[in-house]
Copies of this chain bind each other. A is one copy, B any other.
Amino acid sequence: MKKNALIVGATGFGGLGLIEILLRHPGITIKQLVARRDVGMRINDVFPHLTGFCELPVQSNDDIDYSDIDIAFFSTPDRAGMTLIEKFIEKSIPVIDFSGDFRFNSTDDYALYAKNKGMETTHHAASALPKTVYGLPELYSEKIRHANIVGNPGCFAICMILGLLPAVKEKLIDTETIICDGKTGVSGAGKNPGETNFYPQRYEDVNTYREGTHQHLVEVENVLSSEGGNYKVFFVPQIVPLNRGILITAYGKTQKGIHTKDVEEIYRQFYKQAPFVFITNRSCHTTDVRGSNRCEIRVTVDERTGTLFITSVIDNLVKGQSGNAVQCANLMLGFDETAGLQVPPFYP
């Protein structure tokens, strides 16, 4: 029997991504769309390309009908859904949240995240934190299957963790030497016009930002260090004139005697059950994953400099956001992990 989904924050890019994926999902029906803006409009007035595919009205929080919802997606900004999510938890409706609100099990970690992002640091649903599960199916699929509340990871965090984790787990990298250099497309800045996505600036601009202080670092270091060790990552995000896509180049010192083939084999073993992770020995291209839930990873050992070099690439709006969320939902609702997600990248 089909499951019913509610999307809060339906009019942003996260909400749109969910709609596009769930429209082709064999087991989930979109039932209600909620947003703060555009209430009363049909979703295809907000996104005209949805005409004929999804024409549900946009409702306000106050009009949510909790009675027939099997899963709720919160594609809302940090702190916007915190208290509303508690209502769903009370009613035992599982929730997947796209913000950083439920990515941490402790208020301390949350406070660090919030501080990095320059936000208020008090968590208003602190009692829920110990039960939350970090929504990275390649690592925590069993926990996700039984979770009531999943914090969908940050897009950069997904790309960095998938790229680094097997090496960290096998202690291939010196804990103190990890550099992540991140390139993201413009859609990562969301649906509000501003300086970042201002065409006359952006079409010929590359720039760094939040150098060493990006909020996703907290998640990344948490996950890496959970494998033992105290990993610190220096991460520099950059915006490039691309719409979709994240490419991370990660660097760390490795021991002598480790060769590319060995590392490749470790990665292939690690991800052999992961339907969306591909280990490649070609140079990575964002075009090879655009529009899909795929993460492509390449590992190389540069013996001349003793560097383990890892490239990982995802579509920030799919594996970096709504696709990963549906992958979690599939586990939570008992569907095949890939349901609704087996679509080839969009090219050219």
Contact = CB atoms under 8 A, between A and B. Distances in A.
Contacts of A50: 344
A77 interface: no
A200 B243 contact: yes
A300 B206 CA distance: 18
B305 A232 contact: yes
A198 B177 CA distance: 37
A218 B284 CA distance: 25
A270 interface: no
Interface residues on A, range: 35 or more
Contacts of A49: 287-290, 292, 344-345, 347
Stoichiometry, as copies per complex, reads 4
Interface of A is mostly: loop
A291 interface: yes
B201 A200 contact: no
Given A183-B183, A236-B249, A241-B240, A285 B177 contact: no
Interface string A22-59: 01100000000000000000000001111111100000
Given A305-B212, A348-B13, A244 B194 contact: no
A188 to B, nearest CB: 10
A199 interface: yes
B290 A204 contact: yes
Interface in A81-115: none
A338 to B, nearest CB: 11
A70 to B, nearest CB: 23
A186 B309 CA distance: 24
Nearest to A54: B344
Given A51-B278, A305-B176, A307-B234, A242 B181 contact: no
A206 B290 contact: no
A123 interface: no
Nearest to A194: B193
Given A199-B243, A212-B304, A242-B206, A187 B348 contact: yes
A207 B52 contact: no
21 contacts: A53-B344, A176-B305, A183-B183, A186-B199, A193-B193, A193-B195, A193-B198, A197-B199, A204-B290, A205-B245, A207-B247, A208-B247, A208-B249, A208-B284, A208-B311, A211-B300, A212-B300, A212-B305, A234-B309, A240-B241, A244-B348
